[in-house]
Each structure stands twice: as C-alpha cells, then as structure tokens.
Amino acid sequence: MQASKTRLIELDFFRGLVLLFIVVDHIGGSIVSRATLHAYALCDAAEVFVFLGGFATATAYASLARKQTEADARNRFFKRSLELYRAFLITAVLMLVVSAVMSAFSIDAPNMATTDLDDMMDTPTSVMRDILLFRRQPYLASVLPMYAFFAFAVPAVLPLARSKPWWLLAGSLAVWSIAPWMLPHLPVAEDAQWDFNPFAWQLMFVLGVIAQTQPVYQRASAHRYGWLLTALACAIVAAAAWFKLFGEVAPLDSSLKQNLSWMRAVNFLAIAWLAANMVRLGWASALARRLPWIGLVGRKGLLCFVAGTVISLVVDSLLYTATGGYLNVPLGLAADAVAIGSLIAVAKASAPVTRMLTLRLRGSRAA
C-alpha cells in the first residue's frame, strides 16, 4: 500500500467504509444494507473489521517501535487493551441507556437491549458485575471484548509474525479448529452469549497482522502463476454471490458467524485478495482521495465504532416503530442518510478537538 505521509490512505478508506457498512447493516429497514457485503457474500463487515484491525495494529506497533523502542510499543498496546475495555463499558452502558430512553417513549423494537435492561432493573449489582467481567455483552458491544484480548496479545503476536509467521499461522489455525469446543469455557451469564468467539476470530486478526508484516501478497501476485489465484478468488466470490442471491432458502445458522466457519473465512480471503489487487492497481487510493470523508471515519475508528452503535440502535428502533417492521423504501433511504450523515458528523466534529488536545499536549511537553 502507498503511504500518505505517516498513514496509509487505503487502510483508512477501507476502515471507514466498513464502519459505515456496520452502521447500516444493523438497521433492519436499511436500503443501503441491501447492497453491502453481507448481501452478496457468506461473510460480512465483521471479517473485514477484524482483519483490518490486525493490519492496522501491526502498522502502528512497527511505527512506534521504530520511532521509540519495542518496550514503548509493548506498553502502548497494553494500554490499548485497557482503552478497548473502557470503550466496551461505555458502549454497554450506552446500549442500556438508549434502550431505557426508547422504552420510556413506548418505542419497542426487536434489537433493543431490553433483556439486559430488565435484568438491570431487577438485579443492578449482578448485571454490572457481569458486564465488568464480560459475562454479559449488551447489543452491539460484543465485538469489543475480543478486541481487548487481541490488543493485550499483540506484544507476543507481532514478534512471531515477523520472525516465525508460519508457526504463528499454524498455532492460530489450531486454536481456530478447536474454537467451538472452547466456547462453553468463556465466562457468560445465564441467557447470554458471546456473539464472537475470540478463539475463532483471532484467526482473522492474525491474518491481518501477517499480511502487514510479511510480503505474502507481493510474492504470490508476482509469481508467474499468480493470475491463477486471482481467477480462483473471482470464482469463489462469484459462487458465494450466486448462493446468497439464488441458492439460500433460509438464513444460515448464527453459530457459523459466532465460530467463524471455514466458508466465511475462505470467502473473505477471496475478497481480500481482490481488494489487494485494487490497492496494487491504484484504484483504492484514487477512491480514497475522491471520498476523503470515508477515510476520516476510518481514522477515528474506535470513536466512530462506539458512536455508530448508538446511531444504529436509535435509527433502527425509530424506523421499526415508524414502519411496523415492514420495508419502506423512502423511509429506509432517509434512515440510511441520517445514520451515515451522523457518523460522518461525529468524525468531523472530533477532528478539531483532537487537534486542540494534541497541540496542548505538545505545548505542555515543550514547557
């Protein structure tokens, strides 16, 4: 990928795009979500989000270690793990607060965290303890616990990715293969679950780390038979799209996503290969420059993820109430515009605040 000064504009673009996809994908009556990844593939934005998280993490770790020291990089990602834990707690509380406000206005939509809210009313101490211990993960907050674990493991994963990538990949595949049997051993409250099994989804994160630290794509695409991989990727993407559009008669079991089934992983890898071709040909950077607001959302990743959960829940609940759960194209498009516009507004509003804090921090250090 090409760097823009200190950042990869393609990485920011894809991260921003996937965050926008996540927002509309969690709005049941969304019209835009009918054209996002999950509509044409066996995987969805979650795989992209976790893979790019691994890629971005490896990029940031390497940059920090180069500018400062390995010890500084390790300490930074231990702190990052705590930041993600804090973001999880904030998101969990926001899900409960938004659900409570919606309920107070007699808005009853299927995706609100009503079960957790009812339990909170009955046994607040127990529910808060469960949230603190990851035993309970209110709606849309469930991706952050595994991210906190991944960030904590970065100081061990990154050196392996640089020096022994095949050993790291073999270990990751071994853990992924037994992930369904590990799921019952995760801490969980009664009638709750982990929507993302971290023992399975670590594979996506590790693949992202390896893709950044090793020239896997560069070597494979430069091989004389590299075009065969592109042809295979096209065939896999086309087959998955055909199945989703014409062959799927009922939604696939949710455990396939929870435990990252091989079908989802293979479909994602095929899409990732084609996306890498877009980057190599310069198409991704051209799009990123034409649509800078998408890259802005990507640069404010964690903030936009947390804000996006609130936006999705509010817009989805209001849209469901207005339409009675039926598809309404004009209202669905209006909901998409509000959701996407709100997320972009959050990213834009945060930029001057971040600059001001950065300047103040530099000034205090200089003093």
Tens of pLDDT along 179-196?
Answer: 999 999 999 998 889 999
Whether 112 is in a domain gets the answer yes
Whether 363 has a pLDDT exceeding 80, the answer reads no
Distance of CA 13 to the CA centre of its chain: 14
Domain around 83 = 3-7+43-248+255-288+317-328
Whether 363 is in a domain gets the answer no
Q: What is the mean pLDDT of residues 284-298?
A: 95
Tens of pLDDT along 306-353?
Answer: 999 999 999 999 999 999 989 999 999 999 999 999 999 999 998 666
Whether 346 is in a domain gets the answer no
Of residues 183, 220, 185, 218, the one with CA closest to residue 199: 183
Whether 86 has a pLDDT exceeding 90, the answer reads yes
Q: How many domains does the chain have?
A: 1
Whether 361 has a pLDDT exceeding 80, the answer reads no
Q: What is the mean pLDDT of residues 300-305?
A: 94
Residues near 65 by beta carbon (within 8 Å), at least 6 away in sequence: 72, 73
Whether 357 has a pLDDT exceeding 50, the answer reads no
Q: What is the mean pLDDT of residues 355-359?
A: 53
Residue 7 bridge partners (DSSP)? 4
Does this model's pTM top 0.85? My answer is: yes
Whether 142 is in a domain gets the answer yes
Across all residues in the chain, what is the average pLDDT?
91
Whether 36 is in a domain gets the answer no
Buried b (16+ CB within 10 A) or exposed e, 290-302: eeeebbbbbbbbe
